[in-house]
Amino acid sequence: MKKIDEYQGKKVLVMGFGISGINAAHLLVKLGANVTANDKATPKNNDIVDDLEADGIKVITGDNPISLANEGFDVVVKNPGIPYDNPLVAAFVKQGTPIITEAELGWQIFDGHLVSVTGSNGKTTTTTLTQLMIAENAKHQVKYAGNIGISFSKIAEDLGPDDTLVTELSSFQLLGAPTIHPHIAIITNIFSNHLDYHKTRENYINAKLNITRNQTKDDFLVINWDRDEWQKIAQRSQATIVPFSRLNKSHEGSYVEDGMIYWRGQEVMSTKDIRLIGPQNVENALAAIAAAKLSGVTNDAIKKVLTTFSGVRHRLQYVMEYQERLFYNDSKSTDIEATEVALQGFDRPVILLAGGLDRGYTFERLVPYFKKHVKAMIVFGECKDKMKDAGNQAGVPVIESENAITAVPEAWKLSEPGDVILLSPANASWDQFPSFEVRGDKFIEAVEELTGKKEQ
């Protein structure tokens, strides 16, 4: 941990009691700040408040009182999910109070080698693969943190100048990280996400590009080269550009040619040997390979990771094989695009479990994918009728079930040896589950109960 004094004696407001906010509040106390912690909700667990108050932190819950804007705070550390049009946040913006996220605080105290990953899709898998690859050859600590569910600042506290940290960073985090400066930055792709928060696609792109804003020619931007738009976006960086591509050969980076992965013209491995399935995971592997090779990782270490890693939980995660059926948990597929990608990854018949929160859209876009990949469907949740309509258009047998748990034995009855039973809902979980993680966990529990086996 780097010693800094810029918070000594400063008055700091931390907004949001998520993992990152709580860790940030405690860290700021160590850095000499006078800290107030505020959350709009009242925590169900009183231990959170007790721990904060025991550290000398003033705690305010149940509201974001606008009066806090008049208390002379020097800095606000904001939960990334709190929008800038929140009345209290907007008041701080109007008066010019610096507003940062916990990722910025983590960067300020970090004293090692930083690799950072952003993008619309594939961030978590790419972050995990990159960390595993670098760790295979490392003599010092290699950790991951950030939007992957682990506080950046908490991990940064325990790392020294020879250590490496691979961080997943969302557009929300990057908006409040004005000085962050990774030596290697990765942009997996950029689609049109979170426009309710960013308002425009250009705002969203600009937020993503904060990952490379402070880079110089001595740093590296690893970026997807499969679309003209992304190639043009790369021109806005001052870093040395390192492309990765599944579709376009480029000797400046990592690419695929005739089923083989190459790094700057040198063969690394066959795409067939990647344990993760689907074209999206070939792209994730290419991005991680580029960052790993820039970090001095050997081909053997890269192969070891890619031939053994079975996936991040809830993201096209291989669960198990039972009686020649393969079970996959893709609960993170909360939109149509993600389920499209998931289905394209299989060359076996798929029994698809899908449905969830009704956001008002229909599923005609999925019809061609159902026709090509899906043997039968089990649908559930608020949008099950719309999902059923799409299945009927594709000529796929459709059965209704209560939820992702009850759908498992129904799918088993329809399955035959060689089939894939896939949870890839194409919808958010909030109509029946508090999160996609809970939905995926319950699916896995149902599979374990059905098979009498534990996930692999």
pLDDT digit string, tens, across residues 260-318: 999 999 999 999 999 999 888 999 999 999 999 999 999 999 999 999 998 888 989 99
Residue 406 has pLDDT above 90, yes or no: yes
Q: How far is CA 172 from the centre of its chain?
A: 12
Of all helices (H) and strands (E), which one includes residue 58?
Answer: strand 58-61
How far is CA 303 from its chain centroid? 23
The percent of residues in the chain predicted with pLDDT above 70, rounded, is 100
> What does the pLDDT look like over 325-382, one tens digit per residue?
999 999 999 989 889 989 998 999 999 999 999 989 899 999 999 999 999 999 999 9
CA distance 164 to 141: 6
Is the pLDDT confidence value at 231 over 80? yes
Q: Are 68 and 89 in contact (CB under 8 A)?
A: no
Is the torsion defined by CA of 158, 164, 170, 176 positive or negative? Answer: positive
Percentage above 90 pLDDT, the chain: 89
pLDDT tens-digit readout, 32-62: 999 999 999 998 878 999 999 999 999 999 9
d(C-alpha 157, C-alpha 423), whole Å? 38
Q: How far apart are CA 243 and CA 249, in angstroms?
A: 9
Cα–Cα nearest to 50, from 77, 22, 29, 30: 22
Residue 191 confidence (pLDDT): 85
Q: Per the confidence metrics, is the pTM higher than 0.75?
A: yes
The rounded distance, in Å, linking the Cα atoms of 80 and 84 is 9
Span of 187-201, 214-228, 236-250, 284-298 with lowest mean pLDDT = 187-201
**Integer Cα distance of 185 and 165 in angstroms:** 12
Judge whether 187 and 220 are in contact, CB under 8 Å.
no
196 pLDDT tier (thresholds 50, 70, 90): confident
Q: Which residue has the tokens 């790419």?
A: 126
At 172 the pLDDT is 96
3 state DSSP class of 106: helix
Angle at 16 between CA 13 and CA 22, to 5 degrees: 80
Evaluate if residue 193 carries a pLDDT over 80. Answer: no
- Tokens standing for residue 448: 């374990």
Residues in CB range of 171: below 8 A, 6 or more apart: 118, 193, 194, 197, 198, 204, 207, 208
Grouping H, G, I as helix, E, B as strand and the rest as coil, residue 47 is: helix
Of 73-77, 102-106, 111-115, 248-252, minimum mean pLDDT range: 248-252
**Structure confidence at residue 11 (pLDDT):** 98
The yes or no reply on domain 103-308 and CATH 3.40.50.970 is: no
Q: How confident is the model at residue 121 (pLDDT cuts 50, 70, 90)?
A: confident
Q: Which residues, including other chains, have CB under 8 Å from residue 210's CB and lie 6 or more apart? A: 174, 175, 177, 178, 180
Give the pLDDT of residue 64: 97
Provide the 3-class DSSP secondary structure of residue 391: helix
> For 135-166, what is each residue's pLDDT tens digit?
998 999 999 999 988 999 999 999 999 999 99
Confidence check: pLDDT of 192 > 80:
no
**Extents of the domains making up the chain:** 11-100, 103-308, 317-451
Mean pLDDT of 158-181: 97
Average pLDDT, the chain: 95
| Separation in Å, CA 337 to CA 43, 58, 117, 120, 327 | 35, 44, 21, 11, 21
| 8 A C-beta contact, residue 41 and residue 61 | yes
Q: 317-451: what CATH class?
A: alpha beta
Question: What pLDDT is recorded for position 298?
Answer: 97
Residue 203 burial (CB count, 10 A): 15
Report the pLDDT averaged over residues 174-202. 92
- Specify the pLDDT at position 46: 85
The structure tokens listed for 393 are 């258009």
Interacting residues of 331 by C-beta distance below 8 A, sequence separation 6+: 314, 404, 423, 425, 429, 436, 437, 439, 440, 443
Q: Which residue has the tokens 């993680």?
A: 437
Residues found in the chain? 456
Please say if the pLDDT value at position 119 is more than 90. yes
What is the CATH superfamily name and number for domain 11-100? Answer: NAD(P)-binding Rossmann-like Domain (3.40.50.720)
Dihedral (CA of 100, 106, 109, 112) sign: negative
